[in-house]
Amino acid sequence: MAESKKITAVNIKKLWYGETSAISADVTGQTLHTLLQGETLKEVSNIHQDTWTFEEAEASRTNYKNQLTNQTYRSEKEMGDVSVNFTIGEYDYPTKKDLMGGDVINTDKGWKRTRGKVNIEKCIVFMTEDDQYCVIPRADIGARESTTDKAIGIPVSAVELEPKDTAISPEYWFDAEEVKEA
């Protein structure tokens, strides 16, 4: 039996976002290739150094013990959140609108904030330096303005959400060798 390819998923090389409607079926390497070739996803061109993370919080667990034996006989578990975090160091006003809400002023000459709570969901795709793709079909976007190294960046936290279509998984990983035309 051949040994499986080992990955380390080191750092981020490329990152894209798009509307959650961009993924309407189970994702394959071929469908991801098609998605990346089209104009559905928007590439983020500048991620401020050392701000990219991909994390899964540890599950919280409640164990129940048998009072007679003092041994655990059942356990309940709540899975931890999965999130992609990054700070965009250089951006345009349409990107700011896409991730923070609000409105662009005069096509692309300014931006104004929306009043109240803003709910934004996007599809997130990233590629690591060792050519591993991750696809999160539906993520809750939390973006804000923050000064980092004397410039105002846009820190983004994309928390993985369960897709509305049960045929779509909440997260996919592909080696770049799989992301190709049929």
Find the length of the chain: 182
| Backbone phi, psi, residue 93, to 5° | -65, -35
pLDDT, block means (10 residues), the chain with 182 residues: 82 94 96 94 90 92 94 94 94 96 93 95 96 97 92 95 97 95 75
**Cβ burial, residue 139 (10 Å; 0-12/13-18/19+):** buried
Measuring CA to CA, which residue among 44, 12, 47 is closest to residue 148?
Answer: 47
pLDDT tens by residue, 90-139: 999 999 999 999 999 998 899 999 999 999 999 999 999 999 999 999 99
State which amino acid sits at residue 92.
D
Residue 116 DSSP one-character state: S
- Give pTM, 2 decimals: 0.90
